[in-house]
Amino acid sequence: MKKTLAAALMATIGLAGVSVAESHMSEDDLKKAVNARQATMQLYAFNLGILGNMAKGTTDYDADAASAAAGNLVKLSTQNQMAYWAPGTAEGQIEGSKALPAIWEDMAGVGAAATAMTEAAMAMEAAAGTDLASLQGAMGALGGACGGCHKSYRASSN
Ligand code: HEC
């Protein structure tokens, strides 16, 4: 009886411990990694919102502000984010994460989704400062690149 419990505990702790060992990061540091990527996502959303509001006409078109927001999206998406996506930080492995385990099983797919966003952001950077019509023309691909990754790799919000 005692042996069975010990074995069960070992299995549980062992499972939880694998990812931490893999990433050589403490639980606290893993949580910081989650915070770092979610902060990046918030910055994506903030800058996309500036562009989206202009595209919709909620705010007046401003070439400089649009260029700045698009440039920020390029810079943010070309950060090396490897450490933000440390193994052991999938949904269910750590509190607050909505990152699906598929991310760690399909690195090529995530990489392609990330590249698609960078390319859309670069296209937006080229278009945003030109005029409102160009900004609007680049909006669909950019928003689609966010949504494309979320569809496959982010748990739907509850
Ligand atoms: C390569 C994949 C990928 C791309 C591209 C991407 N996201 Fe995300 N996003 C995710 C994942 C995965 C999560 C869940 C992260 C977590 O909970 O740890 C997320 C979470 C978020 C969140 C919630 C952040 C929080 O505080 O919990 C927002 C907002 C967001 N993304 C906005 C965007 C916007 C806007 C874009 C495009 C400009 C974008 N994302 C592009 C994968 C992506």
For residue 154 and ligand 1, the question of a CB distance below 6 A is answered with: yes
Q: Are 155 and 90 in contact (CB under 8 A)?
A: no
Q: How far apart are CA 51 and CA 45, in angstroms?
A: 10
The model's pLDDT over 75-84, given as tens digits with 9 standing for 90+, comes to: 999 999 999 9
The model's pLDDT over 53-97, given as tens digits with 9 standing for 90+, comes to: 999 999 999 999 999 999 999 999 999 999 999 999 999 999 999
For residue 33 and ligand 1, the question of a CB distance below 6 A is answered with: no
CA distances, 16 to each of 9, 22, 25, 86, 107 (Å): 11, 11, 13, 14, 21
Q: How far is the CA of 4 from the centre of ligand 1 (A)?
A: 42
Q: Are 123 and 137 in contact (CB under 8 A)?
A: no
For residue 48 and ligand 1, the question of a CB distance below 6 A is answered with: yes
The model's pLDDT over 110-142, given as tens digits with 9 standing for 90+, comes to: 999 999 999 999 999 999 999 999 999 999 999
Asked whether the predicted pLDDT for residue 11 surpasses 70, the reply is: no
